[in-house]
Structure 1
């Protein structure tokens, strides 16, 4: 089981690397055209492409890029000439702080919504409707609404989340609106994924028997439902975490938060392919490692294995 999970994780990363490389290859134009803004001659463009390796065959560039990733070398930025690891490493702490804060809000909110939404009570059906509506709202709309309320009407937080110039970690006022903009849709989406599983578990005979015996709801949730939710919740959390990393691009640009997402948006505009590829693979690795951790936890904690 563990070996199979490891092999699946490796194959997933290989497949993702192919898709990431193919997607960046499909972008119109390249870094040479972006740097010259259309003012270079064909000979000058050819010279720039030869200097940066853009004129090599696609399969050769993929193999060289993949081999570099295995060595821990993500290449050099085509725009700044700096190592991609340095470019991403400079922005990664800010995005890690934002994603970490969003996860701290997402996880308890996701579980708090999933339980009543799947329980089937009248209040739970209302929660399910709210969760579905929240998950359906685009991230941009959520961020705009939060800004209008908490920055405009209440003036609790600044509308622009500028990082401290001296390199200090961002404070609560800087993280608040971007964090909520990420966490609310992510928690709603995760709760929707878990709602059906919760409904299936609470309908099982041993849960109904526990209710008939008058056990309190918290005990039923902790003893009779929780163990069966651990592995699925970790899988959902892995997917949600990957989505959070991807969604930072929208949120960081909207709030002027100088993190990895904002960097990737600029890299796509400038066709800085090595930076885009490295950022996409970083998000993919986070998701795959989360899924791998969920599989390994399943092996250890699945209650059905203890019953056999």
Structure 2
């Protein structure tokens, strides 16, 4: 029993797991409270203002909305352990079914954007660190920092609107709505990936410059080791430690950022379902989607912590 307590990495994982569970509990409570503080009657909104009062009352009783708030909360929490997220007041469908239909499209969009970010940012950041180390190629450095600085400053929704205008109005060569075919991914993925890729490339370049200035890299060069061996085996793993942290944070932000991008490009994912749920005062569906987004962010942060603890074991020791 004492064995796992003596292992720093096991203690680190246990602490992170406890934090994850506490955060999930806070998330469930906050989502329930915030959604129920929104003014308006979701049943009346779903059935219409002309619906008979007895029909509205029956629907409220069916959904459990006529019960005290604490009873609704207990029913909701107990339902979560059974995989029951409630019933949509607008469509009458189980919330879990609606989320199950929409979630794959959101994951596909966020996953594609994340892969593009890594494929662009890592080689670009490493290449610029190698090219500009020691103050070399000042012009390339200024061009890189200037261009990436501008791209980082452009909000994703503004870039999405610009892409729609460019490729739906000016040059109608790419689809700007739906997810039919590979071409439909190009514009929403670009809207999600451009700013994070530029930001991550800047971080990797700065980390790369610091790593390339270390004594062990200079020693490797003095031994005339092949450049491929110096950069890939010795320098690259240390360059990417901070980059992985930033990339994990970007992924969590990207998950939430899909809401706006999906709405602009009419992508059939959780983002458009969430906007529709808020518009229709569909509390159950909005609450379920908030939980999915929040749980995804917490889980990604947890996994990033585990990956970084393996990549840099010193972090587990520093936390005791």
Asked if these proteins are the same fold (TM beyond 0.5), I'd say yes
- Residue in 2 that maps onto 1:81: 92
Matches within 5 A, 1:223-242: 223-242=233-252
Q: Does 1:138 align with 2:155?
A: yes
- Out of 36, 40, 62, the residue aligned to residue 25 of structure 1 is 36
| SS across alignment from 1:188 | helix
- Residue in 1 that maps onto 2:8: none
Structure 2 vs 1, CA of residues 7 and 251 (structure 1 numbering), >3 Å: closer, same or farther?
A: same
Matched pairs, number: 301
Considering only aligned residues, what root-mean-square deviation do their CA atoms show, in Å? 3.4
TM-score by length of 2: 0.78
* 1:94 CA displacement: 2.2
Structure 2 vs 1, CA of residues 221 and 96 (structure 1 numbering), >3 Å: closer, same or farther?
A: same
Matches within 5 A, 1:37-116: 37-39=48-50, 48-115=59-126
Question: Any idea what the Cα deviations from partners look like across 1:131-173, whole Å, max 9, x if unmatched?
Answer: 2322221222211222333444444312x3234xxxxxx3222
* 1:108 CA displacement: 1.7
Q: Does 1:264 align with 2:274?
A: yes
Question: Any idea what the Cα deviations from partners look like across 1:78-128, whole Å, max 9, x if unmatched?
Answer: 111111111111222222222222122122223245446776753234323
TM-score by length of 1: 0.81
Partners of 1:41 and 1:211 lie apart in 2 by 82
For structure 1, the residue ranges without an aligned partner over 5 or more in a row are 164-169
* 1:5 CA displacement: 2.0
Verify the 8 A CA contact 2:42 2:281 in the aligned structure 1: yes
* 1:265 CA displacement: 0.8
* 1:256 CA displacement: 2.0
Verify the 8 A CA contact 2:245 2:308 in the aligned structure 1: no
- Residue in 2 that maps onto 1:181: 191
Partners of 2:231 and 2:69 lie apart in 1 by 53
For structure 2, the residue ranges without an aligned partner over 5 or more in a row are 1-11, 316-320
Structure 2 vs 1, CA of residues 114 and 71 (structure 1 numbering), >3 Å: closer, same or farther?
A: farther
Q: Does 1:161 align with 2:177?
A: yes
- Residue in 1 that maps onto 2:145: 128
